[in-house]
């Protein structure tokens, strides 16, 4: 499907079937699914797409091995099945990743881990793309440089890494291409039920301009702010509750050789991941700190950084200090409150709260969820809405590629080989970066380019003027952070001077790239 420009505003008085509050992975996934089923959809995000929890994850699509010890078999089964589907529909964004788990005295018993991995290999059915688990002999040093010599045995299994923010962008882009109205920097300030419709009032940022929309159903996918939106925007006190947990990560120079990740069993029984990241770095996380309410932006603390460093130092030959951190991020996970006192034990499953009747327009609020299960969550949300939309089309997203996902024979390696052959005059590293972000749609981005100068100014970090213009025109990017941390991770390789140059370019050119109704006023 060809790309369309960012959506113009809907005509005054237009009625939508579905209005979605929240542009994270759940909101974008619901928008994509609903639009493909024939519903007229609008989505409003008060900041940038994926600017909250959805870009602050551990960048994994996984079944949740540790959920098994909390007996969450249904969630693990669903997550493993979704892992396979996302590998198929977004192979440029979701890729296999081998995990090594060192084992020694004082950790979970080896029999318990073997049993868990046995179930993990089978709950979702045999994987078509990922090998099964097995024992590892670290004493022979054949399975993973970087492990302290005191750890002689361990385990190996596979899950997947994901570019979480770009997964959100891909869903929003597909929804927009199918006709959805996607509005960023647009807060929903009021929603009032008028019998069979909702009257939704939005406020554009930073102009303060307000608009009214009407919708037959309202979806509250505001993540950590779902309860606040239900109560203060829609005027309904939710029955269910959230457990808010702050999770922080650091990115440091590569801690070991190899493309495997580590899953470390910390002394407090929490799990820490160490993941190869953007070629030259390691991603380490996450912490889990319970908080009382959803504040504004959050950041990692020095105590959290030391906690992660100590966990790494207990297992690997090389750890890090605060001065090694090249980037850090933190987010708030909105977990459904199942009554457990330990934040690590609280369910990662999702729950819908439905308010409405045959005589009243429905409000669906989403509690909980995780990146891995967003697509299935969207299907379940549409099942909840089906009574209000007779004749709703059948589910379709499980077998339909996301934008860029049709990479052809040979998977990612085959696609890269063909891409390098098609553009011999462009740097191989640049093409690899573009392929990992855009997949098969990279050809539209590179049309007519034969040498680097055809792509315009080079901002550093693998960013060119043509790609930045694409981010603005087609992917709702407005600011430097949108570009270098969510549309890409170029910020890891850019100097302060290069970032400043990019900021000047955006200030000068971004407005002209937007449709008139979206340009700054």
Asked whether the predicted pLDDT for residue 456 surpasses 70, the reply is yes
Asked whether the predicted pLDDT for residue 313 surpasses 60, the reply is yes
Asked whether the predicted pLDDT for residue 210 surpasses 50, the reply is yes
Bigger pLDDT: 13 or 49?
49
- Report how far residue 79's alpha carbon sits from residue 209's, in angstroms, rounded to the nearest whole number: 41
Which whole number is the average pLDDT over 55-59?
A: 97
Which whole number is the average pLDDT over 12-26?
A: 90
Query: β-strands 41-44, 15-21: how paired?
Result: parallel
Asked whether the predicted pLDDT for residue 365 surpasses 90, the reply is yes
Which whole number is the average pLDDT over 205-234?
A: 94
Asked whether the predicted pLDDT for residue 2 surpasses 60, the reply is no
Asked whether the predicted pLDDT for residue 108 surpasses 90, the reply is no
- Beta-sheet strands, E only, within 139-209: 153-162, 181-183, 186-194, 197-204
- Is 124:82 a contact under the CB 8 Å cutoff? no
Q: What pLDDT band is residue 141 in, cutting at 50, 70 and 90?
A: low
Asked whether the predicted pLDDT for residue 460 surpasses 90, the reply is yes
Q: What is the mean pLDDT of the chain?
A: 92
Location of structure tokens 């909250």: 52
Q: What pLDDT band is residue 12 in, cutting at 50, 70 and 90?
A: very low
pLDDT tens digits along 122-137: 998 888 889 999 999 9
Spatial CA neighbour of 68 closest among 103, 120, 107: 120
Q: What is the pTM of this model?
A: 0.94
């Amino acid at each position: 499907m060809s790309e369309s420009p960012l959506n113009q505003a809907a005509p005054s008085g237009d009625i939508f079937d579905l209005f979605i509050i929240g542009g994270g992975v759940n909101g974008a996934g619901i928008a994509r699914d609903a639009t493909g089923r024939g519903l007229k959809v609008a989505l409003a995000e008060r900041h940038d797409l994926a600017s909250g929890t959805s870009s602050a994850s551990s960048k994994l699509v996984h079944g949740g091995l540790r959920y098994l010890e909390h007996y969450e078999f249904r969630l693990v089964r669903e997550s493993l099945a979704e892992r396979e589907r996302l590998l198929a529909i977004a192979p440029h964004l979701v890729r296999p990743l081998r995990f090594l788990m060192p084992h020694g005295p004082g950790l979970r018993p080896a029999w318990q881990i073997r049993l868990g991995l046995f179930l993990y290999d089978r709950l979702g059915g045999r994987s078509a793309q990922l090998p099964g688990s097995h024992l590892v002999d670290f004493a022979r040093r054949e399975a993973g440089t970087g492990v302290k010599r005191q750890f002689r045995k361990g385990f190996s299994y596979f899950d997947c890494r994901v570019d979480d923010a770009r997964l959100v962008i891909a869903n929003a882009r597909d929804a927009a291409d199918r006709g959805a109205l996607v509005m960023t920097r647009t807060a929903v300030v009021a929603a009032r039920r008028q019998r069979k419709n909702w009257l939704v009032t939005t406020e554009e940022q930073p102009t303060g301009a307000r608009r009214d929309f009407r919708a037959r159903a309202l979806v509250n996918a505001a993540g950590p702010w779902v309860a606040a939106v239900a109560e203060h925007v829609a005027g309904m006190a939710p029955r269910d509750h959230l457990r808010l947990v702050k999770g922080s990560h650091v990115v440091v120079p590569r801690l070991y050789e190899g493309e495997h990740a580590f899953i470390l069993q910390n002394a407090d029984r929490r799990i820490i991941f160490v993941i190869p990241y953007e070629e030259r770095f390691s991603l380490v996380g996450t912490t889990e700190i319970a908080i009382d309410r959803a504040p504004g932006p959050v950041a990692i603390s020095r105590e959290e950084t030391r906690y992660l460093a100590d966990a790494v130092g207990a297992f690997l030959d090389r750890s890090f200090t605060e001065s090694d951190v090249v980037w850090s991020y933190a987010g708030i996970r909105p977990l459904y409150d199942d009554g457990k006192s330990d934040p690590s034990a609280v369910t990662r499953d999702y729950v819908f709260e439905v308010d409405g009747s045959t005589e009243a327009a429905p409000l669906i609020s989403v509690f909980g969820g995780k990146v891995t299960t967003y697509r299935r969550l969207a299907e379940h949300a549409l099942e909840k809405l089906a009574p209000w939309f007779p004749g709703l089309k059948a589910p379709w997203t499980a077998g339909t590629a996301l934008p860029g996902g049709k990479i052809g024979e040979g998977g990612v390696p085959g696609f890269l080989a063909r891409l390098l052959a098609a553009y011999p005059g462009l740097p191989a590293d640049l093409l690899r970066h573009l392929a990992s972000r855009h997949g098969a749609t990279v050809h539209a981005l590179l049309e007519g380019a034969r040498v680097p100068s055809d792509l315009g100014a080079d901002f550093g970090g693998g960013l060119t003027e043509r790609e930045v213009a694409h981010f603005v025109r087609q992917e709702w990017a407005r600011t430097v952070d949108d570009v270098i941390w969510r549309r890409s991770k170029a910020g890891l390789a850019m100097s302060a001077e290069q970032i400043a140059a990019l900021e000047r370019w955006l200030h000068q050119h971004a407005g002209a790239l937007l449709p008139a109704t979206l340009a700054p006023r």
